[in-house]
Amino acid sequence: MKTIIAEKPSVAREIARIVGATKREEGYFEGGGYAVTWAFGHLVQLAMPDGYGIRGFVRDNLPVIPDTFTLVPRQVKTDKGYKPDSGVVSQIKTVARLFKESEQIIVATDAGREGELIFRYLYHYTGCATPFVRLWISSLTDKAIREGLRNLEAGDKYDNLYLAAKARSESDWLVGINGTQALSIAAGHGTYSVGRVQTPTLAMVCARYWENRRFTPEPFWQLHIATDGCDEGVVKFSSSEKWKEKGPATTLYNKVKEAGTATVTKAERKEKTEETPLLYDLTTLQKEANAKHGFTAEHTLEIAQKLYEKKLVTYPRTGSRYIPEDMFAEIPKLLAFIGSLPEWKEKVNPKAVPTRRSVDGGKVTDHHALLVTGEKPLFLSKEDNTVYQMIAGRMIEAFSEKCVKDTATVTAECAGVEFVAKGCIIRQAGWRAVYGVEDKEETAIPGWREGDTLPLKGCSITEGKTKPKPLHTEATLLSAMETAGKEIEDDALRQALKDCGIGTPATRAAIIETIFKRGYMERCKKSLVPTEKGLALYSVVKTMRIADVAMTGEWEKNLARIECGELPADTFRKEIEAYTREITSELLSCDKLFSRRDSGCKCPKCGTGSMQFYGKVVRCDNAECGLPVFRLKANRTLSDDEIKDLLTDGHTKLLKGFKSKQGKSFDAIVAFDGDYNTTFVFPERKNKATSTRRRK
């Protein structure tokens, strides 16, 4: 008998059907000489410190660096600590028995770093010695599974992939366990979670938040003129220069107004070619789904995974935007299929030869870019269909012709002021025709030449203000994670830097969600806004190595090198251990940042604890209560006296100087609500009586 192990029951069911394992048993299918079983993600994980006999959150026990990591069944949190999950333990017993009774194991967990780790951890935990081979496929269609089973690969071919996955798992444990415990010990209250990727990601959100909030808008003035372009209608020019003072701008405006004409000093016409966009990898799909449809990164991944398991798209957790040469042969058939869908009728030319910009086998790693499989998308929910059609539409774009534009830039001079007008006419829509070219993209410019005199139809002066960089959205944060904070627009250059990003396409969504779950960040419409707790953590760690985005990007690059066999896993482990000792010492020394003093006020919630002043927070010293009151409220820090008013009276006096998320100043009273969360109270005058309205 051979045992096939899949990552999820749903995938096991599909494989079992194909190999004829139709008899359902407890925890597996059997038949046709096969047992087909499954994991539920990670059945086995690294033990917590108490698994090594080390008590957690004790200063003298840090750093915890095991000589050899211990594997344990996945655990669940209970009132009495962590306990093994009973369902997981039962499935491990089933899998262990099947492994032992088999002549061969076929590994059919997801074909990627984590999928490999799920199997190897389970294999080592059960002490199995049965030989194994690898099913490596990029889609779950019947055809792909059958071809994969005919072409099983040697298990040891993926040893380096496992070593990279193991190094990632152990380094995250070392940094996360030691960093979190060290900072929490230094704080003396609560738990401050930090992580190898989590903390640099939070640092990028907080740094952008402060850059945005501390930005001071500066006014500027700009001049504009309009002239008759005959058949092209009115053509508008804007001054090349912007003035910081209104006086000089107004003086020049009056001169322009008196002049009445402008003279063309330069006229340039060029043909501009816009290359087709590359196919989607997971991160690009998540970014565009967030920007266009407001989907979170995690939700987009969930949908893509669901489409994969329904056999509708190829493996979603890919970091490549290219396909290999042999896959290119399938593209005409797939495009014809997409063209048969009602959403894309007349968008696919059956006679057109697909272009090759997204074809480069050298840029394909574990998996090629996202493609539809040719299976009909039936009975999809609205959101699932949205993501499916995004992938289909991008395929049409990627294999269409380039977009060709005629561009014109005309420079004219009037009263000593230089003005510029730009125009664009689309000659070949190419890939841009897939979603349609907007009218605003086209602006015709007459065939003016140098020396032509243009009579003015009007002129104006406008006032504007400089704007800060906007707060991060999930789309922009994913971009920042992809390039370790470097701001790069060019697709090809971003692709070249992807190995230096932080996290991987498969893990970035989970990292962002972890930051939300830790209470460090929240969503405000599409913007990501750090909470007071997140800003407090950032203020402590922002200059430390734990928040260093570039260094975390280098680690991701080293993990990729382990995967390629270019770097020994032991070398990486030693680097991480040295780093762990450094950050543990650095974070434990933060106690001076968390130094406390008694406020002299009883806790308003429990009535027994005393409220203690820390740098960024006032907290109850009763361990069972621990009520926190953060000093920072809407960009304003509450003083000691204001905090004392809040603690003793339940509210402060009317305070000035708060600033909303939109940057507007306001006055308010800070008060406790029924659950002792702080809320804003806004006094209003109405019929000479004072009423209040609240906002949390």
Q: Active-site positions?
A: 315
State the Cα–Cα distance between residues 538 and 215, nearest whole angstrom. Answer: 19
Q: What is the DSSP letter of 372?
A: B
Tell the burial category of 229 from Cβ atoms under 10 Å away from its Cβ (0-12, 13-18, 19+). Answer: buried
State the Cα–Cα distance between residues 109 and 270, nearest whole angstrom. Answer: 53
Tokens of 441: 């993209």
| Nearest in space to 142 (alpha carbons), one of 366, 375, 380 | 375
Other Cβ atoms less than 10 A from the Cβ of 284: the count is: 25
Question: Can you list the alpha helix ranges (DSSP code H) found in 20-152?
Answer: 86-101, 113-125, 142-150
Beta strands in 308-439 (DSSP E): 403-414, 417-428
Q: What is the DSSP letter of 663?
A: S
Tokens of 655: 């305070």
Tokens of 40: 């539920």
Q: What is the DSSP letter of 624?
A: T
Sign of the dihedral defined by the CA atoms of residues 368, 370, 371, 373, in that order: positive
Tell the burial category of 95 from Cβ atoms under 10 Å away from its Cβ (0-12, 13-18, 19+). Answer: buried
Tokens of 428: 């070949």
Tell the burial category of 440 from Cβ atoms under 10 Å away from its Cβ (0-12, 13-18, 19+). Answer: exposed
HSE of 511, CA atoms in CB hemisphere, 13 A: 25
Tokens of 48: 């917590």
Contact 338, 372 (CB under 8 A): yes
| Nearest in space to 547 (alpha carbons), one of 493, 586, 600 | 586
* Bridge partners for 422 per DSSP: 409
Enclosing H/E stretch for 227? strand 219-228
Q: What is the DSSP letter of 238?
A: E
State the Cα–Cα distance between residues 367 and 361, nearest whole angstrom. Answer: 10
- Residue 65 to residues 52, 68, 573, 578: CA-CA distances in angstroms? 10, 9, 11, 10
